[in-house]
Amino acid sequence: MKILVTGGLGFIGSETAISLIKAGHTPIIVDNLYNAKASVVNRIEAITGVRPEFHQIDVCDKEKLDELFSQTKVEAVIHFAGYKAVGESVSKPLMYYRNNLDSTLSLLECMLKHDVKNIIFSSSATIYGSPDSVPLRETSPRKEATNPYGQTKVIIEKILEDVSKVNEGFHAVLLRYFNPIGAHPSGLLGEDPNGIPNNLMPYISQVSIGKLPKLRVFGDDYKTVDGTGVRDYIHVLDLAEGHVAALKALDKDPGVYIYNLGTGRGTSVLELVKAFEEATGIKIPYEIAPRRAGDVDAVYANCDKAYEELGWKAKLSIKDACKDSYNFQKKNPNGIED
């Protein structure tokens, strides 16, 4: 299948492009390089032996996007492109709403104009807000997000539901990611955040190579196994495979299909630190710091639906992810260079 992959040079998009190629599909990558490097194309080629088609286009640029849809007939779109830094979204809400919503609206308008009616969307567990109970199921309530980044995911899910109601034959698959970590085992691809990382695994990785002095553990008085926050960390390779599996939903009756992509297991901050130390043999110095605003005790998934309907489940362990994150960080101390 020929599939347009927006944001296809990013952390999750590039791994998904690899999984698509391995499964015999043809990804057509679109990325504006805001948070990715053009050299990722070479790295995808080095891993798969196939050089994917790449267009440096901003998905908000409807004219260029329209031109691409006119030139290339794609059967489906996987939409990753978007800004994703939670803290930045709080300080620059308009930038987040404008970019994430504008790009999605342009994309949907182009898709409908060119009669492309299959979309898989990168949603997030953030849409469950502060959960009433865990594990989270797809039927758990979608709540108002606590930050503009999360709110764009909530709004885009709703837009896709509305679009699918009135467009015959339209399939929208909403994939709700839990916490993606890990990297490609080759060390060629991985998470490369701009500036000081906000998320836990990139922070631990940078501490492990001495780039940052120590980890700050945000709170040790949560109602969890050891008082630190519990999340569902999923290896990015498993997550990428989830997108290939999600293509199966496009064969079902038209409509909206929602799947949690996680492991179904919760891991605390200190458990993740311990797993990283065991997987790499490197000590991670840390200190307990105050809670971070907006954080909750525990967020983890029930992923039965993805297994029952798509035959997908996460296979790799937390230790695999720690080993791969470390390997990537060690080989790319300054991130992916052009």
Looking at the annotation, which residues are catalytic? 149
Q: How far apart are the first and last CA of the chain?
A: 30
C-alpha distances (whole Å) from 180 to each of 102, 106, 108, 220, 322 are 25, 27, 26, 23, 11
Give the shortest CB-292-to-ligand UD1 separation in angstroms.
Answer: 5
Q: Three-state DSSP class for 302?
A: coil
Work out how close the CB of 293 gets to ligand UD1 at its nearest, in angstroms, rounded to a whole number. Answer: 8
Lookup result for tokens 């467009």 = 167
- Residue 2 forms beta bridges with which residues? 26
Element (H, E) at 230: strand 230-231
Q: Return the residue of 28, 217, 245, 247 that touches ligand UD1, per CB under 6 A.
A: 217
Tokens of 190: 């991985």
d(CA 106, CA 118) in angstroms, rounded, equals 15
199 binds ligand UD1, rule: CB under 6 A: yes
Near ligand UD1 by CB under 6 A: residue from 11, 54, 80, 203: 203
Q: Is 92 in the site for ligand UD1 (CB under 6 A)?
A: no
300 binds ligand UD1, rule: CB under 6 A: no
Q: Is 283 in the site for ligand UD1 (CB under 6 A)?
A: no
* Element housing 102 (H / E): helix 93-113
**Residue 301 DSSP class:** B
Element (H, E) at 2: strand 2-6
Q: Can you spell out the DSSP letters for 59-92?
A: TT-HHHHHHHHHH---SEEEE--S---HHHHHH-
Assess 124 for contact with ligand UD1 (CB under 6 A). Answer: yes
- In the complex, minimum distance from the CB of residue 80 to ligand UD1, in angstroms, rounded to a whole number: 13
CB-nearest residue to ligand UD1: 229
Tokens (6 digits) for 216: 């700050």
Rounded CA-CA distance 94/197 in Å is 22
CB of 225 to ligand UD1, least distance (A): 13
Does position 7 interact with ligand UD1 (CB under 6 A)? The reply is no
Size of the site for ligand UD1 (CB under 6 A): 19
Looking at beta carbons only, is 54 or 328 nearer to ligand UD1? 328
Cβ neighbours around 162 below 10 Å, total:
12
Asked if 231 is part of the footprint of ligand UD1 (rule: CB under 6 A), the reply reads yes
Tell the smallest beta-carbon distance from residue 301 to ligand UD1 (Å).
Answer: 12
The residues in 40-79 that bind ligand UD1, with binding defined as CB under 6 A, are none
Q: Tokens for 120, please give them.
A: 């898989």
| CB closer to ligand UD1, 215 vs 314 | 215
Report in angstroms how near the CB of residue 125 gets to ligand UD1 at its nearest.
Answer: 7
| Candidate list 62, 64, 211, 216; residue touching ligand UD1; CB under 6 A | 216
Region from 39-47, 57-65, 211-219, 253-261 binding ligand UD1, contact rule CB under 6 A: 211-219
Give counts: helices (H), strands (E), the chain: 11, 14
90 Cβ contact list (under 8 Å, min separation 6)? 147, 148
* Contact between 28 and 5 (Cβ < 8 Å): yes
Asked if 235 is part of the footprint of ligand UD1 (rule: CB under 6 A), the reply reads no
Closer to ligand UD1 by CB, 200 or 279: give it: 200
Q: How far is the CB of 93 from ligand UD1 (least distance, A)?
A: 14
* CB-nearer residue toward ligand UD1: 60 or 154: 154
Query: Which residue ranges make up the site for ligand UD1 (CB under 6 A)?
Result: 86, 124, 126, 150, 179, 198-200, 203, 215-218, 229, 231, 269, 292, 294-295
